Amino acid sequence: MLTSITFQGKILSLMCISKTSVLVAGFRTMLHVQHCCKRMRRTTLSATLLLASCKRQSRVAFSASSSVQAPDDGKCFVTTPIFYVNAAPHLGHLYSAIIADAIQRYKKMRGATATIFSTGTDEHGLKIQQATKQLRVPPLDFCSDNSKKFRDLFDAFNINYTHFIRTTNNDHIAAVQEFFNVLISKDFIYKGEYTGWYCVSDEAFLTESQVTEKKTVDGVIKVSAESGHVVEWSSETNYKFKLSLLEDDLKHWLKCDNRVKPKRFLYDLRNTVDRGLMDLSVSRPKERVSWGVPLPNDPEHTVYVWVDALVNYLTAAGYPSIPSVWPANVHVLGKDILHFHGVIWPALLIAAGLEPPEQLLVHSHWTVDGVKMSKSLGNVICPNELKDTITAEGVRYLLLRQGTPHADGSWRTKEGVSMLNADLANGLGNLVHRCTGKSLNKDQVFPPLCQDFVESSTHAQMLTKTMKTVKEDVANCYDDYNFYLGIDRIMHLVHCANLMVQEEKPWTLKDKPEELNSVLHLALSAGRAAALMLLPIVPTYATRLLDTLAVPQRDRTWSQIEAFPNASHTSVPLGQRIAPFKKINV
Ligand code: MSP
């Protein structure tokens, strides 16, 4: 649709408003643009100028285009949620972090250079305040101890973050206060009354329809319908954010079909916004919640912990100065915190004149016997204990191989061990190990390929056919964050390679060096490709394989995947042979 902006009867500019073109944010922003226009003396004005002018004002221009950042455009800003420090980390927390880590590793393999990968701990709010009161420990000491547990966990599982944000750090507190000041200056904050439900466990204000009754031994209690956590009645004066004014802007942001993955969560958000939004309380009285960031305009109140926490993404980017890496390419989060990231966060950013995130990747939950793993239910699986039995790489592999973003998964260690043994030890590990072992590979080389052999062997042809498409297949899966599907494709390649080895029986080919070399060449090429594609998933394991195959560091990129390493038809010496993954017995 073409929209004209007129001033004193003259058409100043034509703006193309369509799904795929650059748009100004929302209808009110259109009005705002017209207002800007009137203030300008010039009679002709380009759409670009209008947009630039718009960007300087309270609302920001952003695209509803269905294409989001390509993975190889040089910019990569990926985040995990920041984790509550009221308890030690469990497997569910690690899952969010491992997904984000795999994404940033993949984006880097695709050529992204300017990388921010942020994580951290969420240390303010009533939830933490209550935990420290119960334990009678100074809040900051308690937070520091538990924050360190997350850091240690991430180090142990190779989570390669660049920024670890603690909400009790001074730079973050300054960022929160500055952000709040901006919202005040743009007239999005007013003082009001809140009378309704509050869920301490979720740190969420809830409406009557979000609350339900639950029978317990002590009688009927009120709980959050979504999380099942207890709610309490609250009546207090606090500061409110004019969320209701941003409905159109949010609808516009949610127009992009790739904005939220998987799609079911996008539809949930669209429905929420279509039902209408109410203004949101963004502060708590200090006498109730003292463990928080004081409001810059009224120290008798502290900033609502979710606003405080969401600003961590800006802190990571260096706010108040905004580098070119803003906005985040993808926020990774669990489905329980979708509303905060898919409604409140983009609305806050738009109100502050900043671009909302490009994309959200929402994952489902790990359950134990069908129940969400959580500390309050006492059914958590400790990742460190798992690491002792199935290794850190084993945990990473299973979380990404068995976890599907769109549906909850039930964690079963025993089944997982069989999968690890089949895929990593017997499948890929064995393929590379036996083709680099002295009994088959006496010269310890990556041998050349004889094309005639491929033409004579149906299994070799099957393998080369798979090799030709696997890179793109896996990339399509990874681009959609369906790591489980990508790994499935990689394992298919490994099976084809093992089948070829099995059928061609290289141990019988000692007198036919060209054939023997060709079998080894094809098997090792498949192993090389599989290891490269597994780098984002199991970096240590994949690195060991690539070291054994002597793949140079500079070649450990996505674009090198299909390149047959020995195009020159000469033997290339192998690297040091290390057992990549030992079979697990439990
Ligand atoms: N502090 C907030 C996030 C603020 S981000 C601005 C919070 N913290 S949390 O510690 O409760 O959760 C952090 C992440 O762990 C979320 O993505 C959540 O979905 C994830 N998980 C917690 N339990 C989980 C499972 N049982 N399964 C999978 N992930 C789950 O929310």
Average pLDDT over residues 296-320: 97
The answer on pLDDT for 383 being more than 90 is yes
- Please report the DSSP string for 150-177 in residue order: HHHHHHHTT---SEEEETTSHHHHHHHH
Q: 16 or 492, which is more confident?
A: 492
CA distance 14 to 37: 12
Please tell me the pTM assigned to this model.
0.89
Rounded distance from Cα 337 to ligand 1 centre (Å): 7
The answer on pLDDT for 169 being more than 60 is yes
Q: How many CB atoms lie within 10 A of CB 552?
A: 10
CA distance 72 to 112: 5
Nearest to 50 by CA among 26, 23, 27, 10: 23
- Give the tens place of pLDDT for each residue, 531-544: 999 999 999 999 99
Nearest to 58 by CA among 23, 25, 34: 25
Average pLDDT over residues 515-525: 96
Calculate the average pLDDT of the chain. Answer: 87
Question: Using 50, 70 and 90 to split pLDDT, how confident is the model at 56?
Answer: very low
Nearest to 26 by CA among 187, 185, 352, 246: 246
Question: Using 50, 70 and 90 to split pLDDT, how confident is the model at 218?
Answer: confident
The helix (run of H) or strand (run of E) holding residue 390 is: helix 383-390
Question: Which atom, in ligand 1's list, is nearest to the CA of 380?
Answer: 26
- CA-nearest residue for atom 6, ligand 1, is 310
The helix (run of H) or strand (run of E) holding residue 547 is: helix 539-548
Rounded distance from Cα 319 to ligand 1 centre (Å): 24
- CA-nearest residue for atom 30, ligand 1, is 92
- Give the tens place of pLDDT for each residue, 7-53: 333 333 333 333 323 333 343 344 334 333 333 333 222 333 333 33
Average pLDDT over residues 559-578: 78
| Backbone angles phi and psi of 264, in degrees to 5 | -55, -30
CA distance 255 to 108: 28
The answer on pLDDT for 55 being more than 60 is no
Average pLDDT over residues 191-217: 92
CA distance 371 to 440: 50
Alpha-carbon dihedral sign for residues 412, 415, 417, 423: negative
Which residues are CB-contacts of 150 (< 8 A; sequence separation ≥ 6)?
A: 83, 85, 89, 93, 119, 121
- 122 Cβ closer than 6 Å to some ligand 1 atom: yes
- 372 Cβ closer than 6 Å to some ligand 1 atom: yes
The helix (run of H) or strand (run of E) holding residue 389 is: helix 383-390
Q: How many CB atoms lie within 10 A of CB 154?
A: 22
Average pLDDT over residues 251-279: 97
Rounded distance from Cα 5 to ligand 1 centre (Å): 46
The answer on pLDDT for 503 being more than 50 is yes
Average pLDDT over residues 86-94: 94
CA distance 429 to 531: 10
Q: Helices then strands (H, E): number in the chain?
A: 21, 22
Q: Please answer whether residues 445 and 571 qualify as being in contact, where contact means their C-beta atoms are separated by less than 8 angstroms.
A: yes
- CA-nearest residue for atom 7, ligand 1, is 83
CA distance 314 to 299: 22
Rounded distance from Cα 184 to ligand 1 centre (Å): 30
Average pLDDT over residues 327-342: 97
Ramachandran category for residue 296: left, alpha or beta (phi over 0 → left; psi -120 to 50 → alpha): alpha
- 125 Cβ closer than 6 Å to some ligand 1 atom: no
The answer on pLDDT for 419 being more than 50 is yes
Question: Using 50, 70 and 90 to split pLDDT, how confident is the model at 67?
Answer: low
- 326 Cβ closer than 6 Å to some ligand 1 atom: no
Question: Using 50, 70 and 90 to split pLDDT, how confident is the model at 323?
Answer: confident
Beta pairing, strands 409-410 & 366-368: parallel
The answer on pLDDT for 423 being more than 80 is yes
Q: Is 343 helix (H, G, I), strand (E, B) or coil?
A: helix
The helix (run of H) or strand (run of E) holding residue 38 is: helix 26-39
Predicted confidence at residue 65, as pLDDT, reads 62
CA distance 174 to 165: 13
Q: Among 127, 153, 304, 336, which residue has the most ligand 1 atoms within 8 Å of its CB, making it the best to mutate? A: 336
- 81 Cβ closer than 6 Å to some ligand 1 atom: yes
